[in-house]
Amino acid sequence: MLCFLSLRRGDASLMTPIMGSKPVFVAIFVVLFNLSSQNLEVSTWVAVGLTTLSIALIGWPEKASDFSFSGLLMAISGAAGFGLLDSLVPFFTHRSDPFFLLFIIFGSVGLFSILIIPWTEGSFLTFRSKADGWMWLSALPMGGQAIFMSVAIGFYQVPTEANIFYAGRGFWSVVLVAVIGGWIGLAEGKSSKSLLLRRMVGALLLIIGIWLASI
Least confident of 8-22, 63-77, 79-93: 8-22
Average pLDDT over residues 108-125: 82
Q: Which of 2 and 163 is assigned the larger pLDDT?
A: 2
- Nearest CA to 202 out of 51, 48, 19, 16 is that of 51
Q: What is the pLDDT of residue 31?
A: 82
pTM of the model: 0.67
CB within 8 Å of 159: residues ≥ 6 apart? 26, 30, 86, 87, 89, 90, 153
Q: How confident is the model at residue 120 (pLDDT cuts 50, 70, 90)?
A: confident
How do residues 164-208 score in pLDDT, each as one tens digit? 777 667 667 767 777 776 676 666 556 677 777 787 788 778 778
Q: Element (H or E) spanning 64, and its range?
A: none
Are 45 and 14 in contact by the 8 Å Cβ rule? The answer is: no
Q: What is the pLDDT of residue 142?
A: 82
Average pLDDT over residues 154-159: 78
Q: How many helices (H) and strands (E) does the chain have?
A: 10, 0
Average predicted confidence (pLDDT) for the chain: 77
Q: What is the pLDDT of residue 186?
A: 64
CB within 8 Å of 125: residues ≥ 6 apart? none
Are 159 and 22 in contact by the 8 Å Cβ rule? The answer is: no
SS3 for 157? coil
Q: Distance of CA 102 to CAs 20, 26, 89, 92, 97, Å?
A: 22, 18, 9, 10, 9
